[in-house]
Amino acid sequence: MTLEKLLSYDWGIMAPEFTILIVATLLSLMDLFMPNKTSRKPLALLGIAGVIIAIVFSVLQIGTEPTSILFDTYRFDAFALAFKLLFLVATGLILLLAIDYEGEREWEFRGEFFYLLLTALLGAMMMASSADLITLFVGLELLSISSYILAGIRKNNLHSNEAAFKYVVNGGIATAITLFGMSYIYGLTGSTNLYEISEALTNPAVEQNAFLLVMAFVMLLVGLAFKIAAAPFHMWAPDVYQGSATPVTAFLSVVSKSAGFALILKMFLITFLSVQGWHNAIILELQPYIAVIAGVTMVVGNVVALRQRNIKRMFAYSSIAHAGYVLVPFVSLSLLVFKMTWFYLLAYLLMNIGAFAVIQFVTEKERSEDFTAFSGLYKRAPWVAVMMAVFILSLAGLPFTAGFIGKFGIFMSSLGTGHYVLASVMIATTVISYVYYFNILVQIFFRKGEVDRLLPSIGLLIVMIICGAGTIFFGIYPGAAYDFFQEFDMNELFIK
Amino acid sequence: MNGELILFFVLALVAIGSGILMLNLTKVVHMVIALVFTFLSIAGLYVMLSAEFVAFVQVLIYSGAITIIMLFGIMLTRHDDKTETKIGVPRMILVLTGIVAFFVVMFFQINDLSFGEQAADLHVDNTEKIGIALYSKYVIPFELTSVLLLVALVGAIILAKRDDEDKGAEDNE
Amino acid sequence: MNPIIWLIPVLPLLSFVLLLLFGRRLKEASAVVGSLLTLGSLILSVVVFMGQWGGASVKQTAEWLAIGDTVLTVGYEINPLNALMLVIVSFVSFLIQVYSKGYMHDDDRFPVFFAYLGLFTFAMLGLVISPNLLQLYIFWELVGVGSFLLIGYYFYKSEAREAAKKAFIMTRIGDVGLFIGIILLFWQVGSFELDAIFDAVTAGDISQGWITLTAILIFVGAIGKSGQFPLHTWLPDAMEGPTPVSALIHAATMVAAGVYLVAAMFPLFEASEAALTTVAVVGGFTAIFAATIGLAQADIKRVLAYSTVSQLGYMMLALGSSGYVAGIFHLTTHAFFKALLFLAAGSVIHAVHTQNIHEMGGLWKKMKWTAPLFLIGAMAISGVPLLSGFFSKDEILAATYADGRFGLFWIAVIATFLTAFYMFRLFFLVFTGESQGKVKKVQESPGVMVFPMVVLGILAVIAGYINTPVTPILDDYLAQNPYLEIHHHESYWWIPIVATVVSLFGIFMAWLVYAKKKVKRLSEASPDFHFILLNKYFIDETYDYSFVKGTRGFSYFWYYIDRFVVEGVIQLVTGAVGWISKTSSKAHNGQVQLYGSVAFAGMAVLLLIVAWLGGYLT
């Protein structure tokens, strides 16, 4: 390959990724040369600026034809763009959260946090915009390794150490399993390119080894189930979420999880559907197992959440449960899968980051992560309490919130494809979830707590307002998001 | 049974045996030695698969660099650490079931395997081919890996560095 | 878009938003803002209602979102039934806001209360004008939220918190049924639109089994909201809320939502005999069941609560017996007289600061307005001739009889007796006899509280005349709905007589039992009446041993069934969930090795199962 050929690719299409990479590098250099006892918070502003530039680039790319660089090791298409936008928006909001995080004495001087968040974001973006197993895997690892460090960044905190350690060990297991599955697929098809793999699957020599192929995909599924914290591969999540700094928890539960979903959708759908269409034998065979994983995840997440007193742990289980919901459209495969998943992830992004903003606010003021820290919040900070109510109602899936529309869409799509059992499990577990969501509301509105007034800082306030407004807006007028999503032609995903 | 197969079995047994030994030995230094054996036998397996370059890297990095760093680490810290083995019966059963199930499945998979025709020229210009692929076709993941390594490095520094020390330790990145 | 219609629910919403934003500054003026906006809704509702006389239904929808091929719409629909509901809801809501200005005056969260009332009224009005089931369901949930907030208004009382929680969860159980019903209907019909569903039912596109199933599931939702057996236990507990709330939510509006739902979906119910029978049996059973419990309660609001449950049972019984008009008729009259009773009870509580009827007594002379108004309400609900309850109850009895449900008919007659009995027990204990209370200086409530009661009192008397056998106005009005066949049953001359005799007998009994001390003293003073008094004493004894003890036992029997069996089943379900939760959270003991082992074993087992079921292990 000549340099000329290398330069002939449209590298400009990678502008969002380059932006993030450059900003991350800049931040790390600035962190290095800043005096020791200078607050690193301004770095976050630069980080946010970088994210906004990347968002602008991405928005400008809407409608661009699918572009492939170097045999799909980087691939731009509507699918990638739609998911990258989610990651970018979420990371921007989390950076805002992080500015006002006051975990520990030295937190202010932890500039690493901001650029590690960006490298993690870069990993997530690569996971969405590649069609090559190797790039996907490296992106996954970049995200994971950055997350491990982020989880352990409060190194004087015992919980944080524990979180990082557990995350590394469990993540290692997951990586091993994923890689093992990938090696099988490469071994069978002789290619790392998802489209070539898809073509190879019709090859009789490969079809003969259907067993191996199924096993490989099960292992991939299991490996990625770790990432999205689906049962029974979820056990790390509560400890890690609890131990990490709140912005990190928000990142793990939103960006990391969404990236996992993007990867699952991409990998499975391209390999199975781009050549063989929607009624592929292997995917039909795997469907019941995914359904079981989704069902068990919903049950375990919601039921165990009932007994949690630590608010972050409770939200960890809640987030596990939500992973179960998002798996449902993947089970009930239809053309709606992208729309439903994307919208749910959008709603989840808004309500979860919003909720974490409130959690960060309350746990910091109260110096306690017990859910009784919320008692009397309505008296102390009425607007924050109302926002939290909006987020909680949305997480619980009550009407007039984005969470309701998301859940409703998923529910309808699963009914439409005849997955009644899964739909029933979804309803039943949703009802169970009311109980613990409700307990928080009871604390906020009906319990007496301290009487002093609390005021959130500007950053938190902005996050809460954006998330709250979004949650309600998309709950009342979901058409806005759906129309926006129409801009993305998901069929591009299947065109080589 | 030809020589190749015998060699495979020997290497495989050493790899697995050392792995089990590593888990069950109580002294840290012994564990590292057991680990070296696993690494070496895996390198041997790579050679058998005509992947000389990978085998070479395996010996160089894993058996060499990583093991040495581990030994240094052990020497420089308290090297009389012993592991406490306290594994309950239920978990033993759990793990055992897992291993047996995994083995059964794997065995059936591999037993059934039929690949059709095989590439014969795998050993030719092995290293060069890897180099070309890495720097042309796979340049994006390659560059991404460099970011990944940087992150890992920074992470290691962040987690290992003592806070009260001078911030200049970060110069390493 | 007709602004008159969509403004009806929007005005209370506006009141909610305004009071939430500026409530702290408005303070007492919140009541004025809330009442005026609700008055606006009321005026518009009346205009819409007037337009429905002879006018055709109005329906307006807009696309909301599209999922695949399914287009979901939002909008409003006005037909005779919901125009009537609009008037009832906005009217009662308005009166109660006026009343609350007096009742809640010393509460420090005054504006919040009115904000909640606005939210609730908005939800209720939105529910009523929904043209499709999905929108209806959304508002249905919102009504639940509003009711939850209002019941838990005194959140510093643990009973209020528990009651709010219970109400929310119990009605939610019903809501799940409703939701499943809606989804199944959608699956069968392919649309959430009420019209489309009725068209499909009429055209026979849905099989009989599906109609029955979906109708019963929808009825489950109504059971939850309308406090029918076995999901009624939240309603008496909900009396922990402020009394105006009890009057608004638990007398006139929210609990009537269940009845409204069945009425709105009546073409569906009508298509299935089994569904109608279910509705009738549940309604009839609830009517008598709740009435017996009402006999033994000591809390004035709880008596009224059980009475509400019982009256809602009547409405369901009417609907289940194809008495569409009768059900709606009773809903209307009941809204007036039950709201009146609650407001009067509130006025009493306001004056004596207790809810225990054994601590009251002798209030007749002290409360010149409240007492006669309460009496009017009690007479209306008991079915004393020429008051509103008399006509509507007769209508129900006649409908039940005409439908050939004789067993239920007699149950309803007995329930009429019980109703009269416990209502007058309440009346005699509270207003006659000696004062048992600690508060000596009892004052009549202020004019702002009396005024709504007077208005409701007038309506409780005259509302019945909208549908007498001579003036079937409501009959003709509701018959305009094209999907309905209004059954015109023949009138039975003897039913009103039986009903009257039975209810007067009930009142008489109550008088004997609870006002008898007076009689006794009278007997000692004038020996001429000795014989009669002896006789009365004899009846009283018989009554005491056979009836009071008997019914009281019966009442306690049901009360305990209620407390231990019904609640026990619910406890069992929650307990099971709790147990699973406990066991599985134990598994998360924080050991990373365990997590690894579980994950690995999980994967291996999953692989094995896939391989096994896939038939690869050969």
pLDDT at C429: 78
The angle that helices C494-514 and C406-431 make with each other, rounded to 10 degrees, is 30
Residue among A385, A408, A410 at smallest CA distance from A468? A385
Q: Which residue of C has its CA nearest to A449?
A: C156
pLDDT (tens digit per residue) in C118-167: 888 888 888 888 888 888 888 888 888 888 888 888 877 777 877 787 77
Share of chain C above pLDDT 70, in %: 82
Residue among C307, C470, C317, C460 at smallest CA distance from C387? C460
pLDDT (tens digit per residue) in C542-586: 434 554 565 566 656 666 665 666 666 666 766 776 666 666 655
Q: Lowest-confidence range among A44-58, B75-89, C207-221? A: B75-89
Q: Which residue of C has its CA nearest to B101?
A: C604
Which ranges of C109-207 does DSSP label H, i.e. alpha helix?
110-129, 133-151, 158-189, 194-203
Across the interface, whether the CB atoms of B91 and C594 are under 8 A apart is answered yes
Selected residues 33-92 of chain C with any CB under 8 Å from a CB in chain A: 63-68, 70
Judge whether C575 is closer than 8 Å to chain A, CB to CB.
no
pLDDT (tens digit per residue) in C242-289: 888 888 877 778 888 888 888 888 888 888 888 888 888 888 888 887
Across the interface, whether the CB atoms of C617 and B95 are under 8 A apart is answered no
Residues C564 and C189: their CA atoms lie apart, in Å, by 41
Judge whether A139 is closer than 8 Å to chain B, CB to CB.
yes
Across the interface, whether the CB atoms of B108 and C601 are under 8 A apart is answered no
With contacts defined as CB-CB under 8 Å, which chain B residues touch A126? 144
Global confidence as pTM? 0.79
Diameter of chain B measured on Cα atoms: 63
- Residue owning tokens 């939210």: C119
A175 CA to chain B: closest CA distance, Å? 15
> Are A315 and A355 within 8 A, CB to CB?
yes
User: Which residues are bridge partners to A74 per DSSP?
Assistant: A69
C584 CA to chain A: closest CA distance, Å? 7
Across the interface, whether the CB atoms of C603 and A222 are under 8 A apart is answered yes
What do you get for the CA distance between the two ends of chain A, in Å? Answer: 21
pLDDT at B168: 43
Judge whether A156 is closer than 8 Å to chain B, CB to CB.
yes
Residues C464 and C452: their CA atoms lie apart, in Å, by 19
B102 CA to chain C: closest CA distance, Å? 5
**Residues sharing a CB contact under 8 Å with residue A20, sequence separation 6 or more, in sequence order:** A50, A51, A54, A118, A121, A122, A125
pLDDT (tens digit per residue) in A403-418: 988 998 888 888 777 7
Confidence of residue A352 (pLDDT cuts 50, 70, 90): very high
ipTM of the complex: 0.87
The mean of the pLDDT values for chain C is: 77
Selected residues 194-233 of chain A with any CB under 8 Å from a CB in chain C: 210-211, 214-215, 218-219, 222, 226, 232-233
Q: Which residue of C has its CA nearest to A486?
A: C66
Judge whether C155 is closer than 8 Å to chain A, CB to CB.
yes
Judge whether A59 is closer than 8 Å to chain B, CB to CB.
no
Q: In this complex, which of C593, C597, C605 lies closest to B101 when CB atoms are compared? A: C605
Q: Which residue of A has its CA nearest to B148?
A: A142
Instruction: Tell how far CA C355 is from the center of its chain.
Output: 21
Q: In this complex, which of C592, C602, C614 lies closest to A166 when CB atoms are compared? A: C592
pLDDT at A252: 94
The angle that helices C254-264 and C208-225 make with each other, rounded to 10 degrees, is 170
Phi-psi region of C322 (alpha: psi -120 to 50; beta: other; left: phi over 0): left
Residue among C559, C562, C555 at smallest CA distance from C170? C562
Confidence of residue A85 (pLDDT cuts 50, 70, 90): very high
CB count within 10 Å of CB A295 equals: 23
B135 CA to chain A: closest CA distance, Å? 9
For residue A485, report the phi and psi dihedrals to the nearest 5 degrees.
Answer: -65, -25
